[in-house]
Amino acid sequence: MSTTAAAHDPSAARSNGHFSKHDASHRPHPIEDVFSTDVYTERAMQQRLPKDVFKKLQRTIKQGERLDPELADVVASAMKDWALERGASHYTHWFQPLTGQTAEKHDAFMVPDGHGGALSEFTGSALVQGEPDASSFPSGGLRATFEARGYTAWDCTSPVFINRSGGSATLCIPTAFVSWTGEALDKKTPLLRSMEALGEQALRVLKIFGTDANVSRVMATVGAEQEYFLIDREYYFQRPDLITCDRSIFGAKPPKHQQLEDHYFGAIPSRVLAYMSECERDLYRLGVPVKTRHNEVAPCQFELAPLFETANIACDHQMLVMETLKRVAPRHGLQCILHEKPFAGINGSGKHLNWSMSTDTGVNLLDPRDETHTNMQFLVCLCAVIRAVDLHADLLRASVASANNDHRLGANEAPPAIMSIFLGDMLSDIVDQLEAGTPKSTLKGGKLDLGARTLPQIPRHTGDRNRTSPFAFTGNKFEFRAVGSSASVAWPATVLNTIVAESLDFVATELEKSVGPKANEAKLQQVVRALLQKIVKQHKRVIFNGDGYDKAWHDEAAKRGLLNHRDSVRALSVISAKKNIDLFKKYKVLNKVEVESREHIFIEKYVKQVLIEAEMGVLIGRTQILPAAIRQQSELAEVVAATEAADVDATDARAHLEQFASEVNRLRIAIAKLDEITSEHATDAHEHAAHIRDKVRPALADLREVVDSLEVQISSDLWPLPTYREILLIK
Ligand SMILES: [Mg+2]
């Protein structure tokens, strides 16, 4: 057996010591002692700040008032003391450029004292504003490359925290990132703007219903479930495709994968559980309310889900979740893969974005409550969302488009690319009643008798769940299920907030107009019913409760005139359509150049990602697969020669050799074709992206087909890569 083969022998990985080292039981600290210990919480601020400063800062944080610059020095100094006590030596403005990752540049608290010593310092201006060199972040034409200046500005609505990594502790200050001219170069700034737009319009609706007492803000809330793969790190390092592309571009389907459905919700392997516990401990320290963990459908696939939070904080926390999952894995001999489709033939990973709206007094505007048909405010919010999804399905689809997610959306594991809404039986029934005029009843679920006296009767929901819908109402929120597992949720949340803000604006304007200044309850009810009837009639085509995987739905959706942008190039190209530029502009979320820059950046990213994959395909094909195939061919040729020399009939061996040699030729041709097509270039970004979609991706798929076919023909001691069979069945 060659050394390569021995290195990816599963038994070698099992005995590599990770189990004994990391499976040791630990006594967890009570959650109260751990949660938010590395977060500069409201309580920590209250303990450290003068009363009046604390109050003013809280008004900024909670009511969105502008921060008084005079306070900054006091706030910064207290924050520094808190951070130093926790071992921090540096601080950083932590921001989210359009790369989809987070960015940080550390500065030490240390300043020379002028007498040969040093002391620690952190000024208000260093807290409030930073100036990283912006020239190497994608700007999508927002500025020329020689214009390097960019600013970061403290977002005090998301708590400051301490990041611990590599034995070092760093004070992280969540910030917005803008260009010298003030254009948003990040994901946070438009998200914050969209939250303001949504809050403003939602408040108008509350005022109409007279439910705005004590409410000063309405906020979007988000909870993002994260799916991910964990594989043994030893295998990871032997797969250049996984290292470079975060997904395998070759790999034959193993005999056993997910067909027995024995992984989903199965007992969590002990090494993985140890890993999950450590991730949770780290995330608790950062105040991230992770709640649920389980095995997912595909082998080696898992999920983590948090409780919902204010959208801005949830999006920051989501970035921390991804970072933590990645960072902790090596300590357990594991590699965490966040890619949407790391392995072909088995399920990929998504990130369900749970979304709702909530007042600062704690009322969830998407809670239907018991007698839903009487809950007109809820029905207004519901219909506003239905209208928003129907009118802006293009943007919603675009918000989840990426080269990665193209492997997933539309395959029979993830929702289709058609943006439809699942409402369930109870709400669908009420929507039907609204369409007919006056809703008179709410369907009840009743009880489920399980037949055994020892088992309790359990309440039953009015309808089943639907896993195939991209946008589903799930009890008291919507679940946007088309988001990719490696994506930041900030952009889809920004789009959702903006399109719903537009719908709430429409509804509020219509109602204010019709109700008039002397509204009474009866008049209001009548006007609301009439408006909702109109909305349902116009937009009910977007509601679909059936099987989203079914081909019949795709035909039906086309008849209803619903968009079906199957690939990202098509989907992304609508971002800067006039309708969308106008929409973002009207609600002050993005101006025209900011919208256009996003389309440009996302298209460019698509191109670059697929090109990297194609180049890796050519490289691995030429330097690993082809040499292995040639060795196999030469062995087969030797067999034919030796058999014939021994004067034994070699007909079968010769036929085998001929067949194999023709496969090797196919491989050569496929590599050469991919190489050639990859080097072809169009100057226009959209044309280039279309070339990548129409030519490069199919050529890579063709190469994969040949390679995967060779994988099951070539001797395992010659095959240069760990196989799916080995990678995916390791616990
Ligand atoms: Mg899941």
pLDDT digits (tens, 9 = 90+) for 651-674: 999 999 999 999 999 999 999 999
Provide the pLDDT for residue 681.
84
* Ligand 1 center from residue 480 Cα (angstroms): 12
* Ligand 1 center from residue 348 Cα (angstroms): 10
309: pLDDT strictly greater than 50: yes
Question: In the chain, what is the straight-line distance between the N-terminal and C-terminal CA atoms, in Å?
Answer: 24
* Ligand 1 center from residue 303 Cα (angstroms): 6
Is the CB of residue 250 less than 8 Å from the CB of residue 238? no
Of the given ranges (291-300, 315-324, 692-701), which has the lowest mean pLDDT? 291-300
CA–CA gap between residue 36 and residue 161 (Å, rounded): 9
* Ligand 1 center from residue 296 Cα (angstroms): 6
* Ligand 1 center from residue 352 Cα (angstroms): 8
269: pLDDT strictly greater than 50: yes
Q: How confident is the model at residue 521 (pLDDT cuts 50, 70, 90)?
A: confident
* Ligand 1 center from residue 568 Cα (angstroms): 22
517: pLDDT strictly greater than 80: no
* Ligand 1 center from residue 291 Cα (angstroms): 14
Please report where in the chains the tokens 């609600």 appear, as a residue. 587
Provide the pLDDT for residue 451.
74
Provide the pLDDT for residue 70.
83
Of 540, 539, 510, 506, the C-alpha closest to 524 is: 510
Alpha helices for 466-550 (secondary structure H): 490-515, 521-539
Please give the torsion angle defined by the CA atoms of residues 336, 398, 495 and 594, in that order, rounded to the nearest 10 degrees: 100
10: pLDDT strictly greater than 60: no
* Ligand 1 center from residue 547 Cα (angstroms): 18
Provide the pLDDT for residue 14.
40
Provide the pLDDT for residue 596.
95
Q: How, if at all, do strands 309-310 and 334-337 pair? A: unpaired
* Ligand 1 center from residue 188 Cα (angstroms): 26
Provide the pLDDT for residue 236.
97
What mean pLDDT do residues 279-307 have? 93
21: pLDDT strictly greater than 50: no
2: pLDDT strictly greater than 50: no
What mean pLDDT do residues 204-218 have? 94
* Ligand 1 center from residue 87 Cα (angstroms): 37
* Ligand 1 center from residue 294 Cα (angstroms): 9
* Ligand 1 center from residue 349 Cα (angstroms): 8
Provide the pLDDT for residue 93.
94
353: pLDDT strictly greater than 60: yes
* Ligand 1 center from residue 226 Cα (angstroms): 8
* Ligand 1 center from residue 281 Cα (angstroms): 22
Higher pLDDT: 113 or 28? It is 113
What mean pLDDT do residues 276-299 have? 93
* Average pLDDT along the chain: 90
Q: Which amino acid is at 128?
A: V
Provide the pLDDT for residue 60.
86
3: pLDDT strictly greater than 60: no
Q: pLDDT digits over 142-188, tens only?
A: 665 456 678 899 999 999 999 998 889 999 999 999 988 889 999 99
Provide the pLDDT for residue 463.
64
* Ligand 1 center from residue 467 Cα (angstroms): 9
Q: How, if at all, do strands 118-120 and 129-130 pair? A: unpaired
* Ligand 1 center from residue 227 Cα (angstroms): 6
Of 331, 327, 279, the C-alpha closest to 302 is: 279
* Ligand 1 center from residue 126 Cα (angstroms): 41
Q: How confident is the model at residue 22 (pLDDT cuts 50, 70, 90)?
A: very low
Provide the pLDDT for residue 26.
56
Q: pLDDT digits over 450-476, tens only?
A: 777 777 777 777 666 777 889 999 999
* Ligand 1 center from residue 301 Cα (angstroms): 9
What mean pLDDT do residues 517-543 have? 91
What mean pLDDT do residues 635-654 have? 97
What mean pLDDT do residues 256-280 have? 87
CA distances from 28 to 34, 275, 284, 293, 306 (A): 9, 14, 12, 17, 19
Q: How confident is the model at residue 412 (pLDDT cuts 50, 70, 90)?
A: low
* Ligand 1 center from residue 250 Cα (angstroms): 25
* Ligand 1 center from residue 563 Cα (angstroms): 25
List the beta strands (DSSP E) in 512-631. none
* Ligand 1 center from residue 229 Cα (angstroms): 12
What mean pLDDT do residues 208-227 have? 94
* Ligand 1 center from residue 470 Cα (angstroms): 13
